[in-house]
């Protein structure tokens, strides 16, 4: 197996950036506060680079975290589609569109949210510029809080696209636009949904503590949100789960458990399958998946493997494709950390079946796959097929 010429693997990017500065491995390891042995294994591809470690290395090198992951990937949609989305997001006060049918717009925003939930990014991205343009025009024309809520939801779809495809600068702008639109609704739930995106921008940048500050501030609005409504429960629960991810990556077990307990209590008030409101998904299923991820981030691979096995055998009811994909990606990470390469590969293949578009561009899926390619000294046909599909090796 031969990697592509461009250094898109995390370890390769680290090595190139380190050598360009004239640094040895020890100097970078010291600056990132990790061991030289771990850095060496990451660079050659024999160890997965966990998000917290990647954030520390990116900070030490003085580069954005997505650059470390090689984002945007060569396999991402064409730049003309991203440019069209940028233009639509930029024109938030002076929309070009004047003729908007409210009933059609409502249906189209719902359809976009459904594409986002099913990780159908290939079909979602082309429709977003026109959708956002119409939503902006409708909100300005009517001034109706419900019209502004539609715009909040449209921006939520755009945030996911920018975040997933590796355009952090665009994701930052979209999150700011979403917060602005939410402020026009006077609805706490809309503001909480926007805060979830804002915290996500800090998560993407590896600034976990500032992200936690965002979630904490947003959760104070819950008291004014109609606490018992499904939308309010979904928003508050989603913020707690965002905080769970941020805290676990910051290696703060106490804060992780604090937010996880709150999420579990809220999930008990939404029995059965998870609920989806304003591009946020929350309930018992999503909560237990975040608990699984904490074991990986806090380096408890055996507990993660045991939990992943139970969830794969008996998955929570009604999980959306994106959540199923995350389950198998995290299972792959757990198996790899525990030393079971075959199980890690099987989990990645299951993730591909559940959510192919997300799996192909998810940094952690690609990182596990990269390490598997490096560790398998002999050709493994199914691994080769998967690596070629993800664009990690030459076809």
* pLDDT over threshold 70, residue 74: no
Question: What is the pTM assigned to this prediction?
Answer: 0.87
Q: Are 263 and 299 in contact (CB under 8 A)?
A: no
Residue 294 and residue 231 share a domain: yes
Residues 255, 286 share a domain: yes
Domain boundary among 121, 154, 186: 186
Compute the distance between CA of residue 27 and CA of residue 359 in angstroms, rounded to an integer.
34
**Do 206 and 241 reside in the same domain of the chain?**
yes
364 and 261 both lie in a single domain: no
Give the closest residue to 321 by CA, choosing from 29, 117, 103, 42.
Answer: 117
- Evaluate whether residue 43 is within a structural domain: yes
**Is 105 a member of any domain?**
yes
For the chain, the distance separating the N- and C-terminal CA atoms, rounded to the nearest angstrom, is: 10
Query: In the predicted model, what is the mean pLDDT of residues 312-332?
Result: 89
Bridge partner residues of 276 (DSSP)? 281
Our count of domains for the chain comes to: 4
180 in any annotated domain = yes
pLDDT tens digits for 149-182? 999 999 999 999 999 888 889 999 999 999 999 9
Count of Cβ atoms closer than 10 Å to residue 202 Cβ: 21
- Please report whether residue 313 resides in a domain: no
Q: What is the pLDDT of residue 129?
A: 95
Q: Would residue 315 count as lying in a domain?
A: no
Is 282 found in the same domain as 181? no
Cβ atoms of 311 and 328 within 8 Å: the answer is: no
Q: Domain range for residue 149? A: 76-186
From 284, 299, 314, the end of a domain falls on 299
The mean pLDDT value of the chain amounts to 89
Is residue 134 a contact partner of residue 105, using CB atoms and an 8 Å limit? yes
**pLDDT tens string 3-29:** 344 445 788 889 989 998 999 999 999
Which of 159, 186, 213 delimits the end of a domain? 186
Q: Does 199 share its domain with 176?
A: no
Residue 308 located in a structural domain:
no
Is residue 152 assigned to a domain? Answer: yes
Residue, of 221 and 357, whose pLDDT is higher = 357
Q: Has residue 2 got a pLDDT over 50?
A: no
Same domain, 117 and 131: yes
Q: Are residues 354 and 288 in the same domain?
A: no
- pLDDT of 214-248, one tens digit each? 999 999 877 665 677 899 999 999 999 999 999 99
Q: Is residue 127 part of a domain?
A: yes
């Amino acid at each position: 197996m031969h990697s592509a010429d461009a250094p898109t693997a995390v370890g390769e990017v680290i090595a190139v950036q380190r050598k360009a500065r004239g640094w040895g491995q020890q100097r970078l390891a010291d600056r990132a506060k990790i061991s030289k042995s771990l850095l060496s294994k990451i660079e050659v591809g024999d160890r997965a680079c966990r998000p917290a470690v990647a954030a520390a290395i990116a900070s030490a090198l003085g580069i954005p975290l997505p650059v470390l992951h090689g984002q945007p990937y060569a396999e991402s949609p064409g730049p003309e589609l991203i440019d069209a989305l940028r233009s639509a997001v930029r024109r938030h006060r002076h929309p070009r569109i004047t003729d908007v049918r409210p009933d059609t717009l409502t249906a189209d925003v719902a359809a976009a949210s459904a594409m986002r939930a099913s990780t159908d990014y290939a079909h979602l991205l082309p429709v977003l510029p026109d959708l956002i343009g119409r939503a902006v025009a409708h909100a300005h024309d009517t001034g109706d809080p419900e019209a502004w809520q539609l715009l909040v939801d449209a921006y939520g779809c755009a945030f996911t696209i920018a975040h997933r495809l590796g355009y952090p600068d665009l994701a930052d702008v979209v999150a700011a636009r979403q917060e602005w639109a939410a402020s026009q609704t006077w609805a706490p739930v809309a503001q909480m949904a926007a805060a979830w995106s804002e915290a996500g921008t800090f998560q993407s940048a590896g600034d976990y503590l500032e992200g936690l500050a965002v979630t904490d501030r947003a959760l104070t609005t819950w008291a004014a949100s109609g606490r018992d409504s499904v939308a309010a429960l979904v928003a508050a629960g989603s913020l707690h789960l965002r905080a769970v991810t941020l805290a676990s990556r910051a290696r703060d077990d106490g804060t992780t458990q604090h937010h996880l307990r709150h999420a579990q209590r809220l999930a008990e008030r939404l029995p059965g399958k998870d609920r989806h409101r304003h591009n946020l998904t929350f309930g018992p299923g999503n909560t237990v998946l975040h608990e699984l991820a904490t074991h990986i981030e806090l380096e408890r691979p055996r507990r993660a493997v045991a939990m992943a096995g139970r969830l794969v055998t008996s998955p929570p009811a009604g999980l959306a494709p994106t959540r199923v994909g995350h389950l198998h990606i995290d299972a792959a990470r757990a198996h790899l950390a525990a030393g079971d390469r075959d199980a890690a590969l099987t989990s990645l293949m299951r993730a591909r079946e559940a959510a192919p578009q997300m799996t192909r561009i998810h940094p952690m899926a690609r990182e596990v796959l990269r390490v598997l390619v490096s560790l398998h000294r002999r050709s493994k046909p199914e691994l080769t097929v998967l690596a070629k599909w993800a664009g990690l090796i030459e076809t």
